[in-house]
Structure 1
Amino acid sequence: MDYYNSLQMYSSYRQIYSFDDNFELAKEICSKHPELCSKNKERIAVN
């Protein structure tokens, strides 16, 4: 389940949501990959 939840982090641009207010996985991903949590990160473009 963590794998699928982490995919949400990789593709989100503005916000992430948690049903039970648990953002530990998001914090862990941000500490390992700070570029994902940057407001200026590259976005995926679909043509």
Structure 2
Amino acid sequence: MQLSPNGKHIAVLSAVGNRKNIIIMETKGLKNICAVTSLNNQDIADVF
């Protein structure tokens, strides 16, 4: 999990399909979720 410098967004690992990918969302209300990766042959190991 990683917080943006301005504190308005958070990046996390989450299941997209059957693999762990990076998604971002607004910290206020945890809304406007957007997948920024879409790997389907391997998992993302970390967010930093």
TM-score interval, smaller chain: under 0.3
Question: Structure 1 or 2: larger strand share?
Answer: 2
**What TM-score does the superposition give when structure 2 sets the normalisation length?**
0.24
Question: Structure 1 or 2: larger helix share?
Answer: 1
**What TM-score does the superposition give when structure 1 sets the normalisation length?**
0.24
Q: Greater RCO between the two (CA within 8 Å, min separation 6)?
A: 1
